[in-house]
Amino acid sequence: MKLPLTARKCLTVTSLVWLMCIFPLISLGEAATSKKPGQAPIESLDPAFAAALKSMYDRQPQMGTDGATHVPDGITKISPEEGMWLYELCRKIKPQRTLEIGMAYGFSTLYFLAAIKANGMGLHVAIDPFETTDWYGIGLKKVQDLGMEGSFRFIPEKDIFALPALAKEGLQFEVIFIDAMHRFDDVLVDFTLADQVCAPNGVIILSDMWMPSIRKAVSFIEKNRADYKRLDSPVANIRVFQKIGVDQRKWDHFVPF
């Protein structure tokens, strides 16, 4: 779960052909529905990534790009199970580009970059307008310390501006992870805009299914977006949708959800 500080203060106790040519031997759907996700421990990652993640999970003081140390809040993170599932997915399908909306302390960022290093290829893009303010640039400092700047692009803009800009660049992403603002309308906007940069057969992943707003957005997608197929996920906190076609809804289409 990644929310800007202002949003967290409101919470009480929380938070088709192109791709097939690239990955002819691996079914993305099969990779996403693997029956043994996240089984490997964090220690199975590259030692530098494992150490960086463990220090954050242990809430040790972290250096930010502001030159000061800060203690992670212990709430804003993804679980090791969810992170290792992302890592293993990317290890299996070896995507050229991955994207996350909401970076915060950089937990998910490090899992994506660990997969890129292990794969020996790939580019990860992270969008977060609050990275250097609410999150003190801790995630960015981790990327620097791990020497992964060459495989990473950071966009300090709101998603409503950053995603259309990426679409104008003609970029497509095989794996997109949405974990930013958790209001229903924001999540639905993120999904709608992410669709514009999702590669054919690519997947869009929504995190924090324990929140009613996320479950409501998932319900809309399931009932109204026939161009996406829900893939079974072994991690209860996420929902995974694979892009299987083009949005061909009529102008007045609506199915109650």
Q: Which residues contact 212 (CB under 8 A, 6 or more apart)?
A: none
Residue ranges per structural domain of the chain: 15-63+75-243
Contact status, residue 206 vs residue 176, Cβ threshold 8 Å? no
pLDDT reported for residue 24:
35
Superfamily of domain 15-63+75-243: Vaccinia Virus protein VP39 (3.40.50.150)
* Locus of tokens 């970059």: 113
Q: What is the pLDDT of residues 190-210, one digit of tens each?
A: 999 999 999 999 999 999 999
pLDDT reported for residue 16:
34
How do 198-207 and 238-243 pair as beta strands?
A: antiparallel
* Mean pLDDT of all residues in 136-155: 98
- Residue 107, token pair as written in the block: 């937990």
Q: Is the dihedral of CA 64, 68, 69, 71 positive or negative?
A: negative
pTM of the full structure: 0.87
Instruction: Tell me 150's DSSP state.
Output: G
Question: For the range 207-212, what are the long-range contacts, defined as Cβ-Cβ under 8 Å and sequence gap of 24 or more?
Answer: 207/1, 207/78, 207/82, 207/177, 207/178, 207/179, 207/237, 207/238, 208/1, 208/15, 208/179, 208/182, 208/237, 209/236, 209/237, 209/238, 209/239, 210/237, 211/14, 211/182
Q: What is the pLDDT of residues 26-64, one digit of tens each?
A: 345 445 544 444 468 999 999 999 999 999 999 999 999
